[in-house]
Amino acid sequence: MKVFDGEAKVSADAVKTTRLAVYGGSSAIDARGTRREVARGFGSKAELGAQPTVPRPLPPAPRWSVTPPLVLLDRGAASIVGEYEVPETPGQHVAEWHVQIARDGIFRDVAVDATAPVEVRRLEAQPPGAGRYYIRVSAIDDDHFEGPFGVIARVMVVKAIDTSLPGRRRRLEIEPPDAFCVRVGNVPLTRVDGPILAGDAEPVRLRCAPSESDPTTLLSLE
């Protein structure tokens, strides 16, 4: 099996069927003296003792019908929520979804790796703490061929650690500490670069974003 200047996935199941799915460039699969060239967007399989099948189209990449929020405030039970679908394609029969949530954009540090039935088109997952998360979904057809992942969604989960202080004061520490947050309201516009000191009853509102170039989301920390 060879991959030529691209991206492909090779998998084998319990009955020793090998599947090749090509997402970029081209590839080839050899078995029982037969070689199949497989182009981008197609897949071929070789069952034990059999020749490779004629390449078939892979499921299309899912798209977000409801994109997860860019910023999410964790008050103790935050959930990342989104919805996805695939374009209607004749001859395609999606059987399940493959959902991954990672702590990095290249998906080396995966926090959630799960499959869901085709009827489930809504993502609802609790993140394992404050931080930045990256979410992607792919479709798997009824012959276990997995198509390409769709557009990666980004979510930054913000959490405020609230500590009571003497004199009816409190200290709020924002996680992740490198989040871009600006305090707004009846205070001078100031970027948050450390703990926030406020009165017990004083409203604290922030506009936060993963970076300065992203749109901000209003968060209320009352």
* Predicted local distance difference test score (pLDDT) of residue 121: 95
Q: In the prediction, which pLDDT does 210 show?
A: 93
Q: What pLDDT does 91 receive?
A: 66
Residue of 102, 100, 125, 124 lying closest to 114 (CA atoms): 100
DSSP-derived secondary structure for 87-142:
---TT--EEEEEEEEESSTTSSSEEEEEEEETT--EEEE--SSSEEEEEEEEEEET
Q: Are 184 and 37 in contact (CB under 8 A)?
A: no
204-208: long-range contacts at Cβ-Cβ below 8 A with a sequence spacing of 24 or more?
Answer: 204/160, 204/172, 206/158, 206/174, 206/181, 206/182, 207/181, 207/182, 208/71, 208/156, 208/158, 208/179, 208/180, 208/181, 208/182
CA distance 133 to 195: 23
Distance CA 155, CA 72 (A): 7
In sequence order, which residues have a C-beta less than 8 Å from that of residue 72 and are 6 or more positions away?
A: 78, 80, 127, 155, 156, 157, 158
- DSSP code of 1? -
What pLDDT score was predicted for residue 90?
67
Residue 174's nearest CA partner among 153, 199, 193 is 193
Question: 10-residue block means of pLDDT along the chain (222 residues)?
Answer: 69 90 89 88 91 93 96 90 86 89 96 94 92 96 95 96 92 93 85 90 92 94 81
Distance CA 2, CA 5 (A): 10
Read off the pTM. Answer: 0.89
CA-wise closest residue to 133 among 82, 173, 172: 82
Residue 126 identity (one-letter amino acid): Q
